[in-house]
Copies of this chain bind each other. A is one copy, B any other.
Amino acid sequence: MSGFLITCMKTNREMSMFSEERLKDLRKILHENPELSFSEHKTASIIKDFVSEVVGKSKLFILHEPFETSVVVEYKGGDPDDPHVIFRADMDALPVKENSLNHYVSGNEGIMHACGHDIHMTVLCGLVAKVAEDTPSKNILFVFQPGEEGAGGAKKMMESGFFDKYNVKSAFALHVTDDLEFGEVGSNGDVLFAIPKEIDVVFKGNSGHAAYPEKGNDALAAASSFLANVEHKIRKVINPTEIFLMHFGKISGGTARNIIADEVKIEGTLRSFDRNIMSLASEEIKNTAENTAKNFGCRSEVTVLGEYLEVRNDPDLFNMLKKVCDDIDIKCIEKKAGLVGEDFCYFTDRYSGLLFWIGTRMPGQEEKQLHSETFFPLDEVVPEGVKILFSLLTLQ
């Protein structure tokens, strides 16, 4: 939790390096070095190097590393008693094998910045650079947060107590999306992102030779029956006017084709805007797993790994975003809440907060999906993001 002063020298040559080109280089190196949740060591190092470079010997900046791979750059441009504004970027990548046709690709096989966190970090670094140049009279925390992808990094940062000593006025974050065109942003003044709940469903049977199914208990048969029925089952306990999503994204089980699988694990996520619906859903999943397991002579184990909160935007901050966008000729679209989850919820739960989408799709370009191997937003969004965040800062 202790900070240290950045004291490295800032030469004229380095000063001139802060530019869109420098941010493009930064984004490239971040994209080429993706790391999974809480393994963002190189990422943190790249960020610290960049911050040192642009901040130089300024005593207005303090670098903190409060929690695991997190990096917080504190800027003390305001009066000591002024409240702080938080700008937050997430750092982790996903276990996705990048499409080799992307402009440049991950150097870590099987890991990819498929959710645009490389852009988020680059924007935040750009904002640090802009603040270092303009030295506004504000107190700011630039928060680089690890473990957003289902790992609950934001919650852990809150629980670390690091923010307790700050009086935080507001917290901002942005998220890239190809759902909007470049030049558009989207948000609202209410709930923007859903409650995500991570759930593991494990079936345990008894192995044996495939030729004698009657002598074993097939965990894979139970798992496939569960998957085939659970969507239907759950729709019978949730009123159809409620918004609810259940998705199972990963499965593994069994040891060989000719052995009865003794264990199959299914990894899923649930989403809604209502905490009661979430409880109802996980209860029904437990029941369905238990009954299905029993039906196949197996046992089931359902584990809730984590449940976030909904991301709830502050209506005043959304109005500010609309004003800022008007001023700099960006189209601000009022978006309805989506079933994406974001642990920025722990910031909006504690502080007045605003999360907004920033469009990345170029005109005429096909929409690429978040978390897919082809998601590769262009660098142009970076200076736009910096501009919006800096404008929001001036209104705080």
Alpha-carbon distance A279/B389, docked complex (angstroms): 64
Give the shortest distance, in Å, between A93 (CB) and chain B (any CB). 11
Select which of B208, B225, B371 is within 8 A of A258 by beta carbon: B371
Select which of B247, B255, B257, B264 is within 8 A of A257 by beta carbon: B247
Alpha-carbon distance A291/B333, docked complex (angstroms): 41
For residue A150, which residues in chain B have a CB less than 8 angstroms away from its CB?
Answer: 256-258
* A249 and B256 contacting across the interface, CB-CB below 8 Å: yes
The interface on chain A, measured as residues whose beta carbon lies within 8 A of the other chain's beta carbons, has a size of 61
Give the shortest distance, in Å, between A365 (CB) and chain B (any CB). 15
Binds B, one of A76-84, A181-189, A314-322, A334-342: A334-342
Alpha-carbon distance A252/B221, docked complex (angstroms): 14
| CB nearest neighbor in B for A226 | B224
Does A227 reach chain B (CB closer than 8 Å)?
Answer: yes
Alpha-carbon distance A132/B207, docked complex (angstroms): 40
Alpha-carbon distance A221/B220, docked complex (angstroms): 15
* A247 and B210 contacting across the interface, CB-CB below 8 Å: yes
| CB nearest neighbor in B for A212 | B369
* A255 and B95 contacting across the interface, CB-CB below 8 Å: yes
Give the shortest distance, in Å, between A238 (CB) and chain B (any CB). 16
Does A209 reach chain B (CB closer than 8 Å)?
Answer: yes
Select which of B211, B225, B259, B271 is within 8 A of A341 by beta carbon: B211
| CB nearest neighbor in B for A245 | B211
Alpha-carbon distance A229/B196, docked complex (angstroms): 31
Does A324 reach chain B (CB closer than 8 Å)?
Answer: no
Select which of B216, B220, B252, B259 is within 8 A of A94 by beta carbon: B259
Give the shortest distance, in Å, between A221 (CB) and chain B (any CB). 8
Give the shortest distance, in Å, between A176 (CB) and chain B (any CB). 12
* A220 and B209 contacting across the interface, CB-CB below 8 Å: no
| CB nearest neighbor in B for A370 | B209
Q: Encode A200-239 as 1/0 by CB contact (under 8 A) with B.
A: 0000001111111101100011011101110000000000
Alpha-carbon distance A221/B232, docked complex (angstroms): 13
Q: Encode A370-385 as 1/0 by CB contact (under 8 A) with B.
A: 1111000000000000
Does A198 reach chain B (CB closer than 8 Å)?
Answer: yes
Query: Could you list 15 examples of A-B contacts with CB < 8 Å?
Result: A94-B255, A96-B255, A96-B256, A207-B372, A209-B369, A223-B224, A224-B227, A225-B228, A228-B228, A249-B258, A249-B260, A251-B252, A256-B267, A258-B371, A259-B372
The 5 A-B residue pairs whose C-beta atoms are closest, nearest first, are A208-B369, A224-B227, A228-B228, A250-B254, A210-B247
Q: Knowing that A206-B369, A213-B245, A220-B250 are A-B contacts, what are 7 other residue pairs whose CB atoms are under 8 Å apart, sorted by A's residue number?
A: A115-B209, A207-B372, A207-B373, A220-B248, A227-B228, A250-B254, A256-B371
